[in-house]
């Protein structure tokens, strides 16, 4: 397995409940290293741009609304097989279907307010990292 980088977000529903440390600990305990981190309050426009792939989905308006409703912690994670590993630790999109011990099973409120984001493939990881971070902010 190769060392990979992936993009992660601790969403507003989680920062609002003071879960930044608890969620980061779950990522670190799984062997992922936080090599960039910043707290942002994204604008509607930034949220729309980031989630443009979902623009025709019925939940798009709700998604943009919830992502711009408060602070998000954006991170780059690095480690062995980081993209798939992060998705595994996150759990299924719908917390009612997420496995025990996953971030979403433990912390998510609903399918929309599901506490974390993680890139789903190497191509999306590269695009998502570059959307928020410059190379000099990533110290791996």
C-alpha pair distances (Å), 54 with each of 30, 51, 81, 117: 29, 6, 25, 14
107 in contact with ligand ADP (CB under 6 A):
no
Considering the complex, what minimum distance in angstroms separates the CB of residue 136 from ligand ADP? Answer: 28
Active-site residue, 117 included = yes
C-alpha pair distances (Å), 62 with each of 7, 40, 69, 111, 116: 22, 19, 10, 11, 16
- Nearest CB to ligand ADP, comparing residues 102 and 114: 114
Site for ligand ADP in 39-98 (CB under 6 A): 54, 59, 62-63, 93
Q: What is the CA radius of gyration of the chain?
A: 14
Of the candidate residues 117, 128, 129, 132, the single one contacting ligand ADP (CB under 6 A): 117
Place of tokens 């798009």: 60
Positions in the binding site for ligand ADP (CB under 6 A): 54, 59, 62-63, 93, 111-112, 114, 117, 120
Catalytic residue numbers, as ranges: 117
């Amino acid at each position: 397995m190769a060392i990979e980088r992936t993009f992660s977000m601790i969403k507003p529903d989680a920062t609002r409940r003071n879960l930044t440390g608890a969620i980061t600990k779950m990522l670190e305990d799984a062997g992922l290293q936080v090599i960039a981190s910043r707290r942002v309050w994204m604008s509607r426009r930034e949220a729309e741009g980031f989630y443009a792939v979902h623009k025709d989905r019925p939940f798009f308006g709700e998604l943009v609304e919830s992502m711009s409703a408060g602070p998000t912690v954006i991170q780059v994670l690095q480690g062995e097989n980081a993209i798939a590993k992060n998705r595994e630790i996150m759990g299924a999109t719908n917390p009612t279907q997420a496995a025990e011990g996953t971030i979403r099973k433990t912390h998510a409120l609903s399918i929309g307010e599901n506490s974390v984001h993680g890139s789903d493939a190497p191509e999306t990881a590269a695009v998502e990292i570059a959307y928020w971070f410059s190379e000099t902010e990533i110290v791996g």
